[in-house]
Structure 1
């Protein structure tokens, strides 16, 4: 009877071991089939994460650069448009000014004749040249200015003339201007000249003058000359 019990216990143990062994085998097979044989390396996963972050960051930078370029292009287009508008306005103003001057000169021609207007222009240019060059040979002034204005010119030249300085004209650009009263002709002039002392250039002034001419006999002569900025001989010259 005891032997039978012993054999039964041994048989149960054997069965138990077989079950346990079978369970272990099943678990191993299940784990082997469920797990990825090519499990990712943590370092590889980390590298891919960094690469993705770099790609995202690069994409963000590229987008920022594109936005900057677009903004720069908009600014450039805006500046170019503004510059073009200013240039067009300036050109329109210059065109209007030239047209106005041409209309005034035509008005003078209709009123006095082309020959008289041409003589008035030549007289205005001659007087301005004598004035800027500080010519004190008064015979050259005869027949170009009124007696009253000649007295004024003589005082100015005597006050401002420098014997050590030498003047030379560069340009005189005349244009017709609106007369102050009937019976007169007014011409404006942009004049440039330079002054040297002992052969050394000291200044290159540029000045705007207005000359009023009146008829005396059969000729037009200068009765007054002014500059909008300054009444002295040098005017407000610009250094170049």
Structure 2
């Protein structure tokens, strides 16, 4: 009986082990079939690693675009500096011119007195206005210009006067200028006027004149008046 029981126990153990072994085999087969593992190519692994690294790293900047931006910025800075330099030079030049004119004005005042200088300026402005408005009432010119200059004006204005056109003076801006000879006063003048024909404005000239005055008795009178670009005083204003 003991031998039979022993054989039964051994048989049960064998069956149990067989069942366990079968279960293990079944589980392994199921896992193998479900996961379908396959060996990964080392190159694919390297590529994946590199791709992950690229994704983790911040996107690189386009060096060409950066250079273009920097070059454009440098150009703008250069242009701005050149413009500022040019503007500064113009302002400096204008300041120097204004100072030179003020110095010449003061020099005239010291040399002749303030009253005489003011009289000379008034005479210069009056004669220029008579010329620009083409006034041919010669009595208004007397005692304001020299005899020789009056004779020249009578010839010139007779030749160029246009009865159909009417002139109206806009502005005369005087500034002291360097005299050509001792004993004279010279003023520059920026003059602007407009010309109308039958009530319609046809042109708006602007011209620079230099007016020379000389002493006649106790007052100053105009002895000459020219434009810097044309000895004919009418200059650009002649084509009205």
- What TM-score comes out, normalization by structure 1 length? 0.74
Distance change (3 Å), C-alpha of 1:237 and 1:69:
farther
Q: Secondary structure at the match of 2:162?
A: coil
Distance 1:237 1:80 in 2: 38
Residue 205 and residue 69 in structure 1: after superposition, are their counterparts in 2 closer, same or farther (change >3 A)? Answer: same
Q: Secondary structure at the match of 1:236?
A: helix
Structure 1: state its 5+ residue gaps. Answer: 1-28
Q: CA deviation at 1:33?
A: 7.1
2:109 matched to which residue of 1?
109
Cα distance in structure 2, aligned partners of 1:197 and 1:234: 18
Structure 1 CA distance for aligned equivalents of residues 198 and 234 of structure 2: 19
Partners of 1:206 and 1:238 within 8 A in 2: no
Aligned to 1:35: 39
Give distance in 1, aligned partners of 2:238 and 2:158: 23
The answer as to whether partners of 1:132 and 1:233 remain within 8 angstroms in 2 is no
State the partner residue of 1:142.
142
1:168-183 maps to which residues of 2 (within 5 A)? 168-183=168-183
State the secondary structure of the residue aligned to 1:181: coil
Equivalence map 1:87-102=2 (5 Å):
87-102=87-102
SS at match of 1:170: strand
- Answer yes or no: is the 8 Å Cα contact 1:177–1:187 preserved in 2: yes
Could you say which residue in structure 2 is the equivalent of 1:203? 203
Count of aligned pairs between the two proteins: 198
**Which residue matches 1:68?**
68
The 1:69/1:237 distance shift into structure 2, 3 A limit, reads farther
Q: Is the 8 A contact 2:227 2:233 kept in 1?
A: no
* 1:237 CA displacement: 4.6
In structure 2, C-alpha distance between the alignment counterparts of 1:36 and 1:237, rounded to whole Å: 94
Aligned runs of 1:115-194 on 2, under 5 Å? 115-194=115-194
Maintained 8 Å contact 2:215/2:221: yes
Change (3 A) 1:238 1:92: farther
Pick closer, same or farther for the CA change 1:112–1:133 going to 2, 3 Å.
same
Show CA shifts across 1:8-33 (max 9, x none): xxxxxxxxxxxxxxxxxxxxx9xx87
CA contact (8 A) 1:205 1:238 kept: no
Q: In the alignment, what sits opposite 2:224?
A: 224
Cα deviation for residue 147 of structure 1 reads 0.8
